Chains A and B, each alone.
Chain A
Amino acid sequence: MASRTSRTVIVGAGAAGLATAEALRAGGFEDELVLLGDELHDPYDRPPLSKQLLSGSWTDDRAVLRTREQLRSAGVAYRPGVRATGLNTAEQALTLDDSASVEYDALVIATGMTPRRLPFGHDLRGVHLLRTMDDLVGLRSELRPDSRVAVVGGGFLGCEIAATCRLLGASVALVEPMELPLRNVIGDDLGALVADLHREHGVAWYLGRSVAGFLSVDGRVSGLRLTDGRELDADVVVVAIGAVPCVEWLDGSGVLLAESGGVRCDEHGRAQDGVWAVGDVAAWYSPRHARWIRVEHRFTANQHAQVVAADILARRPFITTAAAAAEPMVPYFWSDQYDFKLQVHGVPSGAFEVVEGSLDERRFVGLYVDDGRVSAVAGAGMAKALRRWRQAVVDLTPVTDLPGWRSAV
């Protein structure tokens, strides 16, 4: 008899894990579906944490993606507060921190990432990370209009936290080791735009420096010492220096990791037979880029989920799925800082050139051109135009074929 998937277990109940469960059910999956995650909350969305939830413009329940009642009625066995501690792929079994073990026929790894920490200082009160709802509640409870906030790390997360803290009235210092924030992701032009944007809103940048140590009084942070010797006063510090994939529980399982530290998968999200990985933790092979790429953005969680659900379903007889794989794997992300809403399609590389609007007005569409082809498009305030330009990324269009292309990049 043909083998039949009888129990699928999804580890990690964030956006990617949840979306995989729902895509399986939407595709007609009828067997047992277990979604387990180590957080106690109903599955929620992370992007609002640094934006609407930190500012208080939304109540926290608006970030909830599905309630446990909704999951129950969708036939998903949601197990909050359960952590996977080990994996035995030969026996197709997981060990869990509540000491029980669970067997699976199909396993989906969706454990996301955990924030990187500084080698010091995290034991002090007033020093925060921001990845989870619990982190958010802790940070927000300390923010006041007269707070002096220092944000360590000028990536997207650090920039968004800085913007939200300014909107709340706090004074904000941003410490970033590069000379321009985000230059490694979106290049010099947009990095400079973001730096100016924050300056105009009264953020004090400390670029080209990092943190050498914390100052404290009675176990509570009172400031930072930078690598150039300068000392900054601060009563709230947020460390936003990136994150690493949650893969330690896979040690010894035989599941292979990519260079980026994520679970190495083919372009359908397969890590090995019967094991898939989705979302921030997953490094999928990208035929477009001819390498494994790990994308830490919200849209990818949904995209991966669709493809993996279709792949799991296709293993079973008599069930067909349509929709899924038609969508080309072009990553997408956005970032909201003050009124500036940046959107990017693709993985930026190469020179940046504005093709509509202007950077001065902060209303623009620009292309990243690498080796004569469009690797990504970025835009703000011109959503529909940006959507049209995205096609050039999908098609990897040679720039010389683009209408309106003026530059000799």
Chain B
Amino acid sequence: MKLSADQDKCIGAGRCVLVAPELFDQRDDDGVVEILQEQPPPAQLEIARNAVALCPAAALFAEDA
């Protein structure tokens, strides 16, 4: 799986970080998402999908490799 984010859509909700703190962080100044691991390890795949599905700004994408 490959994770990506559209930072222009991100509204800094931090939902992704709450769900998957090992995969996402927020920029300090404006809270915009930063991806920590573009390729989540197997144990994090389900969590990654959940984070993508919950993002209220539809700013996250998971492409199945």
Contact = CB atoms under 8 A, between A and B. Distances in A.
Nearest to A57: B8
Which residue of A19, A322, A323, A343 has the most chain B CB atoms within 10 A of its CB atom?
A323
Interface string B16-55: 0111000000101011000000000000001101100111
B23 to A, nearest CB: 14
Interface residues of A, number: 29
A8 interface: no
B53 A305 contact: yes
Given A302-B55, A384-B31, A387-B26, 8 more contacts: A22-B53, A23-B53, A62-B9, A306-B50, A323-B49, A334-B11, A341-B12, A384-B26
B64 to A, nearest CB: 11
B13 to A, nearest CB: 6
Contact of B54 (A47, A303, A336, A386): A303
B14 A383 contact: yes
A146 interface: no
Contacts of A384: 14, 26, 28, 31
A329 to B, nearest CB: 12
A360 interface: no
B14 A327 contact: no
B58 A323 contact: no
A387 B57 CA distance: 16
B61 to A, nearest CB: 11
15 contacts: A23-B53, A26-B49, A297-B56, A299-B13, A299-B56, A302-B53, A306-B50, A306-B54, A323-B46, A324-B50, A343-B12, A386-B31, A387-B14, A387-B26, A390-B14
A214 interface: no
Nearest to A23: B53
A303 to B, nearest CB: 7
B8 to A, nearest CB: 8
A387 B30 CA distance: 12
Which residue of A22, A45, A297, A383 has the most chain B CB atoms within 10 A of its CB atom?
A383
Q: Which 5 A-B pairs have the closest CB atoms?
A: A383-B31, A299-B56, A387-B14, A323-B50, A383-B12
Contact of A327 (B11, B19, B46, B55): B19
Nearest to A336: B11
Contacts of A47: 57
Given A298-B56, A306-B50, A327-B54, A383 B15 contact: no
Contacts of B12: 334, 341, 343, 383
A390 B17 CA distance: 12
Contacts of B57: 45, 47, 298
Nearest to A26: B49
